[in-house]
Amino acid sequence: MCSHLFYDLDSCSRLWILSFLKVFLFFLLERIIRHGPVFTQEPSDSVFPLSAEDNKIFINCKAKGSPAPHYKWKFNRTDLDIDMDYSLVEGNLLINNPQATKHGGVYQCIATNAFGTILSREAKVEFAYLQNFSSKARSPVLVREGQAVVLLCGPPPHFGEIRYSWIFNGRPSIVVGDNRRFVSQRTGNLYIAKVETSDVGNYTCVVRNVMTNTTVYSSPTPVVLRRDAVMGEYEPKIEVQFEKMLHVAKGSSVRLECFALGNPVPSISWKRADGSPFPGKMKINHSNGVLEIPYFRPEDSGLYECVAENSKGHSIAKGRLVFQIYKTQCFHHCCNSDLHWECKANGKPQPVYRWLKNGQPLVSQDRIRVDGGGLTISNINRMDSGMYQCLAENDNGVIYASAELKVVASPPDFSKNPVKKTTLIQRGGEAIIECRPHASPRASYSWRRGNEFLKDSKRRTISEDGTLRIANVTKSDVGRYTCVAKNPFGTSSSSGTLVVKEPTKITVPPLSMDATVGESIVLPCEVSKDSTLHPVFKWFFNGKLIDFSRHDHFGMIGGGSSGDLMIRNVQLKHSGKYVCMVHTAVDSVSAAADLIVRGPPGAPVDVLVGDVTDRTAQLSWGPGPDNHSPVTLYIVQARTPFSIGWQAVKTGIGLCVLSCRVWFYFRKPVIFISLKNPYLSGRAEGVRPFCWVESRGPEVAPANVSGGGGSRGELVIVWEPVPEELQNGEKFGYVVAFRPLGTTTWKQSVLASADASRYIYKNDTFLPLTQFEVKVGVYNEIGEGPFSPVVIVYSADEEPSVAPPRVWARSLSASEIEVFWEPAHQSGSKGRITGYEVCKHQKWREGKKMVTESSVKITGLKGSTLYLMSVRAHNSAGTGPSSAPISITTKKPPPSQPPGNIEWNLTNSKVFLNWEHVKAMDNESEVTGYKVVYRQSWHRGSSVVETNRTSVELQLPSEEDLLVQIKALSDGGDGSSSSPIRIPKIVTLISPNGISKTIMVSQTLSAAERNQPKNDLL
């Protein structure tokens, strides 16, 4: 058995472990696992400022192991003596009063316990500094306008993290990066994608050491503009780009730079090659030149692209981020077996390999063979136990991977993995009983039932790993089974019991069926089972488990051996495959059925308009989904910006020709198609202009010309305006012509409004009810159109001059009175009498009501209140004199208390209601009976039962809840209503196999129903 260890050493002195493998080969002899040292924290390269106030350096090193390891250190690959300059804190090394010349170098931690020794990776300790720039003057940079330029910083000698910035024309004018200018923190250079005249001046590079907080300034670099030419446009060139392959450790931060030169100035965008979006933690600065990824995670790995583009072209830079992975794997080897480990690394230059055992070099000898990155040990024994390390190194450094080899031996042991105590299996199934003790070397196995050892047969087999299989189980197989495991170091056994149950069967499966939208159906699922088992029913719809708590349409009914699925108010979306799955402790069974829901057809498709003329257009379409019911009729509807709603224009199957006798005048009509099948109708829209008519003179005259009424001396003429789509052009108006009957000269008046529908001519010289011949014509900007047919219209009448001779009234309730009068004599009045005006007087308030009969009911009154009533005749010219007023008092108000303590009982399909008698107050009318108002929950119409008792019997409708209200009756009217009472419906459901089930569906009042007015059932 072998394992592979992968490393990467790149040319930038960074060491990346692609796979870190720790292998444990062991056979347990002890209950407590003891192991060699494993580093949990290794030294890392460190940089310290020479002028740090804390005059100490702390280098981490920590390892776990049992027993606990002890530590020592190497400095520049020689053993380090712990003296005044050094001290150990657990495994960590503390350097006191550090000095660059004395303490700078390479440190390595060594951890040792009884099982062996391992070496940590090497860590450099270096000291940060920053020297001054050279004082030598820098040469000017000559550029043309529109050209790109790169100003080199050339930082002085330094060590430690530094930050770059640039100053323009002296302090404090700092160059701020944008989409045209960019300062790279990798090179320190200033990049200007396209030079402008405002860029001319002196540029100074500023370098700051983060560790020492020291800042130095370069000599100015002059930028001078050449006047001989202007740079033309060219495609982007990415000048600053990130590494093509970058290994990143978990939790570290990544900063990718990308900037392009070009004219016009390129825009920078970032994306992942696989198209996945950036998480919110990623940051892109305002110029898009930098992408920052904090807290690097495995999901951040992948290929990243920077795209620079302008109007002349684009350029792409790509780089892959690789998550640095450390893995520990465990392998089990047998005693006297062969071991082969292989260690591989990538790097430039190609790395070489060394192997260590307990910190000492391994060479090929006897049973050990070292071949580059491969290590082979033949016929391993306990003397080979220890800590092994592979070293891969090149000019850029060295990296380590560790493994522990522990060789022990043990007899079979069932303490951690005994045979299962009880195995349940259904009759006719296959029983599988595993036997998995811990043993080294591997044990041999045998099985017995009671005291009888078992042999392989047609139904029973024992596999090499100790598993016992019994096929086609019967009741005779019940019993206690024991596995016996044996190896050279001992024998052990473990037992378990096999219990056989009757299989579960679905006796009433769901059947495929059809349903109509809005129906409620039941899919049955009943089983026969072993009496000791408890079935669990689950339903799946199109492969997904139904969550009954989240679906209002689905419910499971039944219990025990039944788990029927009820689907309420079936919709088209419920078509599909339903599976009933039943689980018990020993088996699972299922049955499926298909549900087809028939409903309204889907929208027609591919609506097209063709063969358009100034009067017609041909319309065609394709059929949409019929939702399992053939389409029987298409209804074509149309509308224009002038029409109200949709208007049916044609019916047929797939093709029709529409008449376009309408004026659209640069407006777009809309075609609308609806279609019907035996269930409901569907709709589809196609928005498209199909008729264009040039402006022309009006062709349609106003309709329904009439008139009359008005004040004395007025001639009132009215008509229906011509619809906008029939006006045929702009500046539409009307011409009103009239003359007294018997004369020859027409008098005309022009109304310059398309919305006009009324004209009044006033002349006090003509007598009331003079007959006039009247006609109304039309015109627009093109010319005049036709006149309407001539009609006779009367001028205004004169007001009546007499009052009704007698008026009387009677009180009907607390809120109603009825007023009567004798009609006024027409012969004594100057003007015609066409109706009457009834006036109501109550203290300082008045009210009026216009009627044509000789009596009227006045409602909305107050109880126990005195009113004065008078009547006068009227016509279109106005009202005549009032009659003498009469007085009338309304009755006492009805009881304000609603019936209380309402109880109801349900027997078969009848409901019995009882309530308490309502007692009226002194200022209220006495109770004469009760009114019971009831209706079905979703119906608007109500039924009323009146009774003089405090109980009533009602018939309960099926398939619908019943809403009931009760109120008292009195001479003063109906009293207050009780709150609505909901009596739940009784539902009888019949499944496809004819099984009838009756259930009561109980519901409570909705918030909307509870807040309804108490008389809303009326």
Q: What torsion do the CA atoms of 536, 542, 543, 548 make, to the nearest 10 degrees?
A: -40
In this predicted model, what pLDDT tens digit does every residue of 562-572 receive, in sequence order? Answer: 999 999 999 99
Distance CA 188, CA 879 (A): 100
pLDDT of residue 614: 62
In this predicted model, what pLDDT tens digit does every residue of 137-154 receive, in sequence order? Answer: 999 999 999 999 999 999
Exposed, middle or buried by CB within 10 Å (0-12, 13-18, 19+), for 41? Answer: middle
Q: Which CATH number fits domain 412-501: 1.20.1250.20, 3.40.50.280, 2.60.40.10, 2.60.40.420?
A: 2.60.40.10
pLDDT of residue 657: 55
What's the whole-number average pLDDT of the chain? 82
For 694-751, where are the E strands, in sequence order?
703-707, 714-720, 733-740, 747-751
Looking at the structure, give the CATH architecture of the domain made up of residues 605-687. Answer: Sandwich (2.60)
* pLDDT at position 326 over 50: no
In this predicted model, what pLDDT tens digit does every residue of 710-755 receive, in sequence order? Answer: 888 889 999 999 988 788 888 999 999 999 999 999 999 999 999 9
pLDDT of residue 9: 34
Superfamily in which the 131-232 domain is placed by CATH: Immunoglobulins (2.60.40.10)
Structure tokens at 240: 């600053």
CATH of domain 28-128: 2.60.40.10
In the chain, the amino acid numbered 638 is A
Phi and psi at 782, nearest 5°, equal -85, -40
Looking at the structure, give the CATH architecture of the domain made up of residues 903-1010. Answer: Sandwich (2.60)
Domain with CATH 2.60.40.10 in the chain: 28-128, 131-232, 233-330, 412-501, 505-598, 605-687, 703-794, 807-889, 903-1010
pLDDT of residue 7: 34
**For strand 290-293 and strand 733-740, is the pairing parallel, antiparallel, or unpaired?**
unpaired
Continuous segment of H or E residues that includes residue 1007: helix 1007-1010
Please give the model's pTM, rounded to 2 decimal places. 0.39
**Torsion sign over Cα 835, 840, 844, 845:** negative
Question: Could you tell me if 200 and 226 are in contact, meaning their C-beta atoms sit under 8 angstroms apart?
Answer: no
Distance CA 395, CA 18 (A): 19
Distance CA 515, CA 575 (A): 9
In this predicted model, what pLDDT tens digit does every residue of 38-55 receive, in sequence order? Answer: 999 999 888 888 665 667
In this predicted model, what pLDDT tens digit does every residue of 757-793 receive, in sequence order? Answer: 999 999 888 888 889 999 999 999 999 999 999 999 9
Continuous segment of H or E residues that includes residue 95: strand 92-96
3-state helix, strand, coil in the chain (%, to 5): 5, 50, 45
pLDDT of residue 437: 93
pLDDT of residue 907: 77
* pLDDT at position 1 over 80: no
Question: Could you tell me if 977 and 944 are in contact, meaning their C-beta atoms sit under 8 angstroms apart?
Answer: no
In the chain, what percentage of residues exceed pLDDT 70? Answer: 84
- DSSP summary character for residue 431: E
Gyration radius from the chain CA atoms: 51
Name which residue leads in pLDDT, 92 or 1011. Answer: 92
Least confident of 871-880, 935-944, 982-991: 982-991
pLDDT of residue 615: 63
Name which residue leads in pLDDT, 646 or 615. Answer: 646
Q: What value does the mean pLDDT take over residues 340-355?
A: 83
Least confident of 28-37, 509-518, 585-594: 28-37
Looking at the structure, give the CATH architecture of the domain made up of residues 807-889. Answer: Sandwich (2.60)
Superfamily in which the 505-598 domain is placed by CATH: Immunoglobulins (2.60.40.10)
pLDDT of residue 53: 62
Least confident of 62-76, 279-293, 679-693: 679-693
* pLDDT at position 1013 over 50: no
Name which residue leads in pLDDT, 892 or 324. Answer: 892
Distance CA 833, CA 875 (A): 6
- The three-class DSSP label of residue 724 is helix
In this predicted model, what pLDDT tens digit does every residue of 795-844 receive, in sequence order? Answer: 888 888 888 888 999 988 888 999 998 888 877 677 778 888 888 886 54
Determine the topology of domain 703-794 in CATH: Immunoglobulin-like (2.60.40)
pLDDT of residue 61: 93
Name which residue leads in pLDDT, 552 or 847. Answer: 552
Candidates 356, 361, 360, 325; CA nearest to 341 is: 356
Q: What value does the mean pLDDT take over residues 479-496?
A: 92
Continuous segment of H or E residues that includes residue 621: strand 616-622
**Torsion sign over Cα 745, 747, 752, 753:** negative
pLDDT of residue 446: 94
Looking at the structure, give the CATH architecture of the domain made up of residues 233-330. Answer: Sandwich (2.60)
* pLDDT at position 34 over 60: yes
Continuous segment of H or E residues that includes residue 1009: helix 1007-1010
